[in-house]
Every structure is written in structure tokens, then in C-alpha cells.
Copies of this chain bind each other. A is one copy, B any other.
Amino acid sequence: MSGEFNLIDRYFSHRQENRSDVQLALGDDCALLTVPTGYQLAVSTDTVVLGVHFLADANPADIAYKALMSNISDLAAMGATPAWLSMAISMPKFAQEVENNATLGTDDWFTENWLEAFCDSMFTLANQHNLQLIGGDTTNGPLTITFTIQGFVPSGQAMTRSGAKLGDWLYVSGNLGDSQAGLEVILDPSKSNRPHAQYLVQQHFRAQSRINFSQSLRGLASSCIDISDGLTSDLLHILKRSNVSARLNIDALPVSIQSCDFYGSMAQAQQAALTSGEEYELCFTVPDQYKTEVDKLEATSNENFAKAYCIGRIIAHPELTQQPEIQLYLDDKLLNSNNSSKLLTGFDHFKS
């Protein structure tokens, strides 16, 4: 775009220290990088679009945080360490002060301040993960941001979605449901009087990925995914890729005290935990032989609040369908399909 080089200089260059594995970053035709010996490269791409993933009045710092964190979380799902980031940003022209107070265009909210706040938030999060911006593209267009993130994982030790086996235990890495509760407050201001409403909104905007915890799972977990669309949706990806089914004990789902207070009961909070999205906790499976070791991770993790909670087990497909399926259990009893469907398609207090 016109002035692209000025923009890059002002907002994207000289914001970070150079990693030793980056021989050339912004400003040439390509970045030049070195992957350490004995490591595989893990690569993931995510796009967020104005009007689809966020609205014009959203806080640009929140948008940057969530877009980048969901990308970082993809690395966590594989047990990889973040290293390099490319960013493509299409954006409208900046709204300018208009001398005669003429009406500004529809993009009058898009200012240099917006971009500055976005970049500050992005670089803060990137620096926390030793993640260096190594390239990208800046164009005119409807506001759209694509991150491509790269990280390292010791060769052969990445956790994929396809390794779950019959008899493996099913785990999640932390409390689920806070993000859902926060979203409900955002969508329905009448809920902002409920206990911990603002705390939960904050959890929705600033959920944390499990980069450190996931690295302690390498060699122990047989499969792993990050929970971005909701536990049941994401677990189904593991089940399909691994060609197995799962028993999931709803009353074993970890939930926060704040979510329990917000929903009024632990049972309701646990129902919310089934489908709450954008939390970036991990869902993973563990062979029986490693269960004791993984259970100990509850106490020894070096990342706040991350623990391994056993919530079920990998089982054979139901005889009738022979398809990957999640069987929901409550009080050690299998829910009938009618009740399961209600839980899996969202919960009543959200629809009302």
C-alpha cells in the first residue's frame, strides 16, 4: 500500500530483540531463519476478519491478544515452543481529522491510534513468548489480519490429534467455562449483575494458552488438541482422527469458583464447560502407563493454574453406529441421546 514502508518502519520494525535463530527479518524479500538441529518446525495459520470475528467497536488490544493467543495455542496443542511470527494485515485508510468537520466515512473508527494499540498488545504478548515478528505484508483492504506462527518441537515428540487409543484416559488442563460465562455477559448486559461478571468477561478476552504445560505432556500424552471451539467440538476432532470414541464424565469437568457462582450451581457451570470456546485449555489423552505421572502434573506445573484433570476415557465406538461419538455420563450414568443432544448443542440459559 502507499506508504507501506513508512508504516512498517513506524509500527513493526525495531520493536523486538533479534532471536539468534533469525538471520534476517523484516525488510528484504524473505526472512532467513535457522531451525535448531533435532527439531521439527510446527506451523499454523489463523485469520480474523472485521465483522466476522470482531466488531469495529471492540478494543484493538483485545483483538490482537485473542488473534495471536489462538495462534500460540495451536503450537501448545502440539507441544511446540513459539519462535517466529508472520503477519499479513489488510486495512482501510486511516481516518483523518477533517478540517471542515465534514462527516467522516464509515471507517472513521480506524485510526493510527487503533493500529498502535493493536501493535502494542501484539508485541507485548509476542515478547512474553519470545516470539519474533519476522515478516508479513501490509495492504489496503477490509480489515483482515492473518498470523502464521512457527515453533519448534523435538523431532518425533509432537502431540497430534490422531494418537488416541482404546483405554487411554481423557484429560483437560484446567478450568473450563469462564470464557462462555464472560461471553454471556457481553451479549446480555442484564447478566452483568451476576457474581464475578466482570472477572469472567476479562477471562473471555484474556484466556491463556498452555505453552509451558503442554511441553511437560510430551512423551506422556498420546493425543492433544487445544480447546478453541469448545470441549465437545474439539474432542470430536481427536476421536475422528484417532477413530475411537470417548466417555466423558460431566461431573468431573473442572470449573472455577467464579463460574459456579455466576451460574448458581456447579452442575450448571459444568454444563457450560462442555461447549465453552476460546479458552485454550488442552484436551488430551494419556495411556494408562503414564496416568500416575500425568496426575502428578497437577502439583508440579510451572504455569499458573494448569493441572491435569481426568474427565473420562477413550472407548470403542457404540455398537450400533460404529462411528466416533462422545458418550456423556452424569453420576456414573450414561445420559440418553435426547439429554446429550441438549447439552451438546448449547445450554438453555444461553438461548433464552
Contacts and interface: CB of A to CB of B under 8 A. Distances in A.
A80 B29 CA distance: 11
Given A33-B41, A40-B34, A88 B153 contact: no
Interface in A141-169: 141-142, 144, 146, 148, 150-151, 153, 155, 158, 160-162
**Chain A interface size, under 10 / 10 to 19 / 20 to 34 / 35 or more:** 35 or more
A99 B98 CA distance: 47
B41 A74 contact: no
A51 B135 contact: no
A148 B31 contact: no
B90 A29 contact: no
A30 interface: yes
Contacts of A80: 30
A295 interface: no
Contacts of A202: none
A32 to B, nearest CB: 5
Contact of A45 (B34, B48, B136, B140): B136
A142 B226 CA distance: 28
Nearest to A136: B45
Interface stretch (A20-28, A100-108, A298-306, A317-325): A20-28
Contacts of A52: 90, 139-141
Given A137-B146, A142-B144, A41 B32 contact: yes
Contacts of A49: 90, 139-142, 144
B29 A161 contact: yes
A146 B139 CA distance: 11
Contacts of A28: 78, 160-162, 241
Interface of A: 23-24, 27-35, 37, 40-53, 74-75, 77-78, 80, 84, 86-88, 90, 134-137, 139-142, 144, 146, 148, 150-151, 153, 155, 158, 160-162, 225-226, 241
Contacts of A136: 45
A24 B158 CA distance: 10
A27 B242 CA distance: 12
Contacts of A42: 30-33
A255 to B, nearest CB: 24
Contacts of A53: 139
Nearest to A51: B141
A77 B30 CA distance: 8
B40 A33 contact: yes
Given A32-B41, A33-B43, A139-B53, A86 B226 contact: no
